[in-house]
Amino acid sequence: MLDDFFLRALVAGVGLAITTGPLGCFIIWRRMAYFGDTISHSALLGVALSLLLQVNLTLAVFVVAAIVSILLLFLQRRQALSADALLGILSHATLAIGLVMVAFMTWVRIDLIAFLFGDILAVTWTDIAMIWGGGILVLAAIAWLWRPLLASTVSSDVAEAEGLRPERARLFFMLLMAVVIAIAMKIVGIMLITSLLIIPAAAARRFAATPETMAVLASLVGAAAVVGGLFGSLRYDTPSGPSIVVAALILFMISLLPFGRRGSARVAQQEGQGS
């Protein structure tokens, strides 16, 4: 029989993987991997503010991630710097400010390793309820935004001409990313969140005939990575968060083997024309 803490970890991890699958597809199609890193790095600043102001950790991380997302959109419209330069500045600045703030709070004892690399084995049933509840809301929002997000990924001008308001869809997408990062931090940690978003989607891409199929397969690959990583962690006594990412990497490498069929041109088009 499996211990209760291990079952909780499985339920939490699978719930997160189901949520990150569709989001990861849009990250790949839109070439926004560095954006995911930026938002995840800002989570440490949210942790520091949570400790300083004594507010809910998840709420603080979401608020900081949302502010960084909105600030990025504002700076991109100013066109003072390129997008990758802005992302680099925000990513490293928020991470550094968070670390400095934590260092100044000498009255607080904090396990930075747990925040950086996660501690899925410590999740509670309350955490699980938040993960699944938040995940359902995120998936519902993605379903609602699916058409404008997909259209603007292919061509923002066409989406604008069709009245789909791509800028609004992009803002909502960034806020959804902030929600997922806030609820995922405890599971895989700040440094590994983007990996769980990107690697399963990249592994699913080869076998997807449509964008919708790729989103579903990405969730399944992510769930398989969670299960495989946790059992590998149990078997070999390795850190659980990194083990999940390694399992996802193994599945990605398997997807590169010369068998089966590649994804259709329509799926490839999303990545080729995404921005």
Residues 20-67 pLDDT 10s? 999 999 999 988 888 888 888 899 999 999 999 999 988 999 999 999
Q: Quote the pLDDT of residue 140.
A: 96
Report the distance separating Cα 99 and Cα 112, nearest Å. 9
202: which residues sit within 8 A by CB, 6+ positions away? 24, 28, 252, 255
Q: What is the pLDDT of residue 273?
A: 55
Query: What is the token pair recorded at 141?
Result: 């929002």
Distance of CA 105 to the CA centre of its chain: 28
Positions of the chain with pLDDT under 50? 265, 275
| pLDDT at position 20 | 95
Domains of the chain: 4-273 (1.10.3470.10)
